[in-house]
Amino acid sequence: MNKTITLKSLAKMIDHSLLHPTMTDSDIISGCEIAKQYDVATVCVKPYAVSMCKEALQDSDVEVCSVIGFPHGNNTTAIKVAETLQATQDGAAEIDMVINIGKALGGDWEFVRADIAAVNKSCLENNAILKVIFEADYLQDENIIKLCEICSDIKVAFVKTSSGYGFVKQSNGDYNYKGATDHVLTLMREHIAPEVQVKAAGGVRNLDRLLHVRELGATRCGSTSTEATLEEAKRRGYR
């Protein structure tokens, strides 16, 4: 156990993910209670739930993060900006936006840059920070490197590996995803500006993985298994 890592520092790496399409309001409020209990960084929620979660978390240090253009990034830029404005007005302090994946794969980097820059501008004007979701399972290394260059130029707060819902058809016909792999995290940390942070999302389901992505340079992660991860940290002596 690394004695310099505390239970609180581990908790503050976590965006507690409440994004599954079947989640009811009751499920989301229960998730907010878990987030408060463990004092995580944020709850990451659907746009409609921002004001509800802001109220549920008002007596805590847990912020609200809203996804934008989720999960496939195909909204027009104007709609992404409008979503961002609504979310920040409702109380979101952080915004996780999915890039236009098809535009990135097609090499229309002017569109991709303008899309990210517009949402980042809206965030900055409304006291929020932006995390840019790449959806790395769909991309090649050269796409990821180019996105890192763009996000470095724009000076976003974070780049993020995945949405957790970018399912790719596998060779056996099943749909699955890899998410925050060591390779992708290493590539992103290597090519993003030092001041831009990296969020790992997809597959960070236990304490060992959380500690490992931290070693790779991720300072935030999305998790649906917050309780199990932090209880394991307690059992191992993190205080």
Catalytic residues: 96, 160, 199
Closest CA to 217 of 236, 190, 239: 190
208 within 8 A of 225, measured Cβ to Cβ: no
Cα three-residue angle 140-222-5, rounded to 5 degrees: 110
Closest CA to 57 of 18, 13, 98, 110: 18
Q: How far is CA 235 from CA 207, 208, 212, in A?
A: 11, 13, 18
DSSP 224: S
Which residues are 222's β-sheet partners? 15
Tokens of 110: 């002017």
Distance CA 87, CA 91 (A): 6
Distance CA 129, CA 42 (A): 12
180 within 8 A of 162, measured Cβ to Cβ: yes
